[in-house]
Amino acid sequence: MFISYCQHRHSTPNPKAPALWMQDVSASYEDVADRVALKNISLSVTRGSSTALVGPNGAGKSTLFKVAANLLKNSSGKVEIFGQPLGACHQRVVYLPQRSGIDWEFPLSVLDLVTTGRYVYLGWLRSLEKKDYDKAWEALKSLSIEDLAHRQIAQLSGGQQQRVLIARALAQDADLLLLDEPLNAVDVQTRHIVQRVLNEQKAQGKTTIVATHYFKQEEGLYDNAVYLKDGEICTAS
């Protein structure tokens, strides 16, 4: 018997709702619960748009993504993804963590890592199928790294690591992509490939939010920008 991984698998998203909507959202980390990492965030991200989430280190960019990806519980406020509460359609959201947050020494091949992007679709006791591998290869090709498929992730350069992480996110085939500093400290070739992939995602009607603290160099890449400072939304400085 097939047991669905997602209990709300058949929930119908509201076609007119924003991709991400937050109202008065605050969040903090358990070990420092007295300090709020996100304060009263209200925003609405139109579906199909590309948005830069701009702010210096410690501004709360990653925290906002973790709340939207349902990895960190907000302490107050409301969050909706495509008009539905968090968790209702978890396959439709993918969070690409910062490169520095990954253990690159872990014994895993590039293909293995990219196929983990398909795990959200696997039910209980189900294993990867041909279509999952097809999606993974498609993502590797899109990032021009198919020749790295069987390489251990410990042997990658910084730019290659970034492209592998993006391939993993693409393999999930989500509708809302939360990309955490994908353009930070990458080589020129990777930068161009990532920019091309962002444009392709947009052309496919996907919604992307990209965290960055180098917005000036990336201006023109996005439709909108949301500025964060000390956990709060602010205007451009």
DSSP letters for 161-180: HHHHHHHHHHHTT-SEEEEE
Question: How far apart are alpha carbons 72 and 63 in whole angstroms?
Answer: 8
The amino acid occupying position 97 is: P
For ligand ADP, give the closer residue by CB, 23 or 184: 184
SS3 142: helix
Contact at 8 Å (CB) between 228 and 56? no
Least distance in angstroms from the C-beta of 83 to ligand ADP: 25
Q: Binding of ligand ADP at residue 182 (CB under 6 A)? A: no
Considering the complex, state which of residue 64 and residue 145 has its C-beta at the smaller distance from Mg ion.
Answer: 64
CA–CA gap between residue 82 and residue 103 (Å, rounded): 32
For the bound state, the minimum distance from the C-beta of residue 232 to ligand ADP, rounded and expressed in Å, comes to: 11
Closer CB to ligand ADP, residue 23 or residue 98? 98
Among 62, 74, 161, 207, binds Mg ion (CB under 5 A): 62
Q: Interacting stretch for Mg ion, rule CB under 5 A, among 60-68, 85-93, 137-145, 158-166? A: 60-68
Measured from the CB atom, the residue of 59 and 169 that comes closer to ligand ADP is 59
Question: Which listed option, ligand ADP, Mg ion, none, makes contact with residue 148 (CB within 5 to 8 Å by class)?
Answer: none
Query: 174, 208, 153: which is closest to 90 by C-alpha?
Result: 174
Stretch that binds ligand ADP, among 52-60, 107-115, 139-147, 169-177 (CB under 6 A): 52-60
- Shortest approach of ligand ADP to residue 211 CB, angstroms? 6
Pull the structure tokens for residue 183.
Answer: 């353009």
CA dihedral (53, 58, 62, 65) in degrees, to 10, reads -60
212 is a site residue for Mg ion (CB under 5 A)? no
Alpha helices (H) along the chain:
61-68, 110-115, 130-142, 158-171, 188-203, 215-218
Asked if 32 is part of the footprint of ligand ADP (rule: CB under 6 A), the reply reads yes
92 near ligand ADP, rule: CB under 6 A:
no
Contact positions toward Mg ion, by CB under 5 A?
A: 61-62
> Interface residues with ligand ADP (CB under 6 A)?
29, 31-32, 37, 55, 57-63
